Amino acid sequence: MTGAVRVLASKVRDLTGPGVTDRFGIGGTDLGVSVAAPDGRLVAVFGDTFRRAGVGGRGWRAPVVLFGDPDSVPTGLRWTGSAGRGEYARQIVRYLHHGVRRHRGMRWRRVTTVLPTDVITLGDEMFLHVMVCRQLGNVHWTEIHRSADDGRTWRPTGVRWPADHLGGLFQMLTWERGGDGYVYAYTTGFQRAHGLVLSRVPQDRLLDRDAWQTWGFDGSTWGWDRPPTEALPGRFGELGLRRLADGAWVLTAFDEANYRIDVRLLDGPVADLHTAPCVTVLEGCDWGEEDHAAGRVAQLYGGYPLPGSTLADLHLVVSQWNTATNWPYRAMQFRVDLSGVRAGRA
């Protein structure tokens, strides 16, 4: 495996928290995976959200959606609204925290939260993949929800996968259109203890579980519709597979083992992740040692590309949670220029 080079990102602005998202009833939140909606505006989906600046208390909901002005990304994303009545960002998936839900054909399960992993726009519709969880890391199942009104409202599609699908490596997901009629998805577990596997599905059959194929190695060659083989070993968390505005492919990943966020530059969705250029853009550090201007962030995770990004102007949504004090608990925007890596200087 090629080693990672360092091209560290710098902070653009806070995306959530006091003075930023108060009018949406958002004090503390995280994640913020985003795409462009069919109408062109930016749609960002966040995880566990609370009214106060921190974790806990009133107004717990997840996931929630904020709408942004895509033209504002280069200088700092500006929010223009939220999914829900009025400005208050409502929970877009119907369930009760600490309630029970039934997985078809299985017993009732206690659910504490439903967390987004990625969202995709296909034609006039949007699709959201979520993990139905009892506490962090404990996934009951995953499912897909659909929006036909540019992210304002969402409805369940009925498509679900059990938590042990693909040996438990189909929980955390990121997907992107391949330009060849397929949607490609890199997935892993929600425990930050596993590597990545690759799947694909015809774009017009996204909701047909039988149409999904996995990428596997038979001892001599790689091919589709085989038992999945790890495309990259490791201990990964949040993922972001995107074809950028300049046509470049990137895969962002929170690397738990090395406490950092990396960007891999791919020649397409079916790339050799072992040899793809890998750039560390953000490094984890202890509290008191942060330098957001130089890519050092305490208790970082996430790292989702923002729509409109290019390699020369790559913008990422990065989360931070001080688990000792429960603040900061927020999403932030960082920027990095990776054009030099593309040119081969890495």
Domain ranges across the chain: 5-342
Residue 325's Cβ-count burial label (10 Å; 0-12, 13-18, 19+) is exposed
Torsion of CA 137, 138, 144, 148, to 10 degrees: -70
Helices (H), the chain: 339-342
Residue 58's Cβ-count burial label (10 Å; 0-12, 13-18, 19+) is exposed
pLDDT of residue 345: 42
The closest of 11, 155, 150, 156 to 81, measured between CA atoms, is 150
pLDDT of residue 100: 59
> How is residue 22 annotated by DSSP?
G
The closest of 135, 134, 159 to 145, measured between CA atoms, is 159
**Mean pLDDT, consecutive 10-residue segments, the chain of 346 residues?**
85 98 98 98 98 96 98 98 94 82 60 97 98 93 98 97 97 98 98 98 98 97 97 98 98 98 98 97 98 98 98 98 98 98 56
The closest of 165, 199, 206 to 184, measured between CA atoms, is 199
The closest of 98, 118, 279, 96 to 185, measured between CA atoms, is 118
Q: Please say whether the beta carbons of 200 and 224 come within 8 A.
A: yes
The closest of 130, 249, 270, 115 to 186, measured between CA atoms, is 270
Q: What is the pTM of this model?
A: 0.96
Cα(301)–Cα(41) distance, integer angstroms: 25
Type and span of the H or E element at 120? strand 113-122
What count of residues does the chain have? Answer: 346
Class (C level, CATH) for 5-342: mainly beta
Q: Order of strands, edge to edge, in the sheet holding 155-162?
A: 113-122, 125-133, 139-147, 155-162
For 223, list phi and psi in degrees, rounded to 5: -165, 165
CB proximity list for 319: less than 8 A, separation 6 or greater = 30, 31, 32, 238, 300, 301, 302, 330, 331, 332
